[in-house]
Amino acid sequence: DGGITQSPKYLFRKEGQNVTLSCEQNLNHDAMYWYRQDPGQGLRLIYYSQIVNDFQKGDIAEGYSVSREKKESFPLTVTSAQKNPTAFYLCASSIVTEANEKLFFGSGTQLSVL
């Protein structure tokens, strides 16, 4: 079945450590996104990518980095510069056409600081 796979489900980061969250999709979607969700809050956009080898900053990109070397993969690195990384991270994808379809979401990664 087609879908988006995020791993790991839970991740713990030590002080000063960089960690990478994986996101893979087999939906053949061009666009991929990373959102951050804090408790009781909505989704805030970290980065998004419309095509391979290209990506743009969202509203809260500081302390994060991404790459888009393959159409199906869009990993997110939470760097040590992100001082408050504890949150739920959601990866999503969509078809890029004149008519935006909808966002397909992965099951998320909960990142916590040790």
Partner 1 sequence: AQTVTQSQPEMSVQEAETVTLSCTYDTSESDYYLFWYKQPPSRQMILVIRQEAYKQQNATENRFSVNFQKAAKSFSLKISDSQLGDAAMYFCAYSGYNFNKFYFGSGTKLNVKP
Q: Shortest gap between Cβ of 66 and partner 1 (angstroms)?
A: 15
Helix (H, G, I), strand (E, B) or coil at 106: coil
Among 92, 110, 109, smallest CA distance to 101 is for: 92
Q: Return the residue matching tokens 């959601």.
A: 90
Check binding of 39 to partner 1 (CB under 8 A). Answer: no
Q: Which of 23, 32, 33, 49 touches partner 1 by CB under 8 A?
A: 33
Q: Which residues contact 2 (CB under 8 A, 6 or more apart)?
A: 25, 26, 27
Check binding of 27 to partner 1 (CB under 8 A). Answer: no
Query: What residues between 92 and 111 interact with partner 1 by CB under 8 A?
Result: 92, 94, 96-100, 102-103, 105, 107-108
Q: Which residues contact 98 (CB under 8 A, 6 or more apart)?
A: none
Do 4 and 25 contact (CB within 8 A), yes or no? yes
Q: Shortest gap between Cβ of 71 and partner 1 (angstroms)?
A: 16
Q: Which residues bind partner 1 (CB under 8 A)?
A: 31, 33, 35, 40-45, 48, 50, 58, 88, 90, 92, 94, 96-100, 102-103, 105, 107-108
